[in-house]
Amino acid sequence: MEKITLINKVELLWDNIDELRKLVERIDSIFKNFPEVFKETMLLATQVKELIIKIDPFVDIYSKKVCATCSNICCLNKNSRYEYDDLIYVLALREKFPLPPRNLKEKQPCYLLTKKGCKIPRYLRPLRCNWYFCKDLLEEMQTAHARVFREFSNTFNKMLYLRQQMLNSFFQLLSNLKSDI
Ligand code: SF4
Ligand code: SF4
């Protein structure tokens, strides 16, 4: 069971894709080999996904308005870097993790950016990307009806709360699993 004990909370760097790939494989093997043990984590990840899908149309309307004319596009590798927690979430969903094809440079355009925009759905993007609303975008979003904006804000906060529950569940179940073996 060495695979599990090898997992430590680390900051993921884009400059060593081979190490990142190995880490993805290790976390993936946990969910693959112990689906019953990590059922709760996977359920919570699905609930997080559903909440992101729920806020997607709201964010989309305003980002289409503002980002289309932006002269300082923020889709750079440094803003799209997945953290360890993001990996757990994506793999708990049993989705394929969008590994970069090569080592990345922070200041270059995000490897997931295409001419038509981001190539992955919002629910698969790293938290730091989904969490980022620049001043212009936020101001535009605040022009929404107060009730609509409040609903968005509440859903977003609920998503953050459930995401934390999902991570707590993962680490708790992981430590139970280790003590059982
Ligand atoms: S979020 Fe803000 S900084 Fe990023 S592309 Fe849109 S308008 Fe530009
Ligand atoms: S993940 Fe998508 S939205 Fe986020 S920075 Fe990259 S291209 Fe932009």
Domain count, the chain: 1
Tell me: pLDDT of 68 over 80. yes
CA 140 to ligand 2 centroid distance, Å: 20
Distance between Cα 131 and ligand 1 center (Å): 12
- Look at residue 87 and tell me if it is in a domain: yes
**Is the residue at 1 inside a domain?**
no
Residue 2 inside a domain? The answer is no
pTM, two decimal places: 0.90
Distance of CA 65 from the midpoint of ligand 2 (Å): 17
Let me know if residue 164 belongs to a domain: yes
Neighbours of 24 (CB within 10 A): 20
Contact by Cβ (8 Å): 126, 134: no
CA distance 121 to 164: 21
Residue 2 pLDDT > 50:
no
pLDDT surpasses 50 at 35: yes
> Which atom of ligand 1 is closest in space to residue 134's alpha carbon?
2
Q: Is the pLDDT of residue 10 over 80?
A: no
Is 31's pLDDT higher than 90?
Answer: yes
Does residue 129 fall inside a structural domain? Answer: yes
Pocket of ligand 2, candidates 63, 75, 127: which has the most ligand atoms within 8 Å of its Cβ, to mutate?
75
Q: Which of 31, 7, 166 is nearest to 96 (CA)?
A: 31
What's the rounded Cα separation, in Å, for the pair 159 and 165? 10
Q: Which residue has the higher pLDDT, 151 or 14?
A: 151
Q: Distance between CA atoms of 143 and 145, rounded to whole angstroms?
A: 7
Mean pLDDT over 20-48 rounds to 95
pLDDT at 3 over 70: no
From the CA of 114, give the closest atom in ligand 2. 7
Query: Is pLDDT of 14 > 90?
Result: no
- Segment 69-121, tens digit of pLDDT: 899 999 998 888 888 899 999 999 999 999 988 888 888 899 999 988 899 99
Task: Compute the mean pLDDT over every residue in the chain, rounded to the nearest whole number.
Answer: 89
C-alpha radius of gyration, the chain, whole number:
18
Rounded to the nearest angstrom, the distance between the alpha carbon of 78 and the centre of ligand 2 is: 10
Is residue 4 very low, low, confident or very high in pLDDT (cuts 50, 70, 90)? Answer: very low
Is pLDDT above 90 for 160? yes
Instruction: Give, using CA atoms, the residue closest to atom 2 of ligand 2.
Output: 118
pLDDT at 147: 96
Residue 3 in domain: no
Average pLDDT over residues 19-48: 95
Q: Which residues line ligand 1 (CB under 6 A)?
A: 63, 66-67, 70, 72-74, 134, 136-137
> How sure is the predictor about 20, in pLDDT bands with cuts at 50, 70 and 90?
confident
pLDDT of residue 9: 46
CA–CA separation, 146 vs 17, rounded Å?
44
Q: Domain containing 67: what range?
A: 10-175
For ligand 1, the distance from its centroid to the CA atom of residue 134, given in whole angstroms, is: 6
End-to-end CA distance of the chain: 8
pLDDT at 13: 59
Pocket of ligand 2 (CB under 6 A): 75, 79-80, 110, 112-113, 118, 125, 129
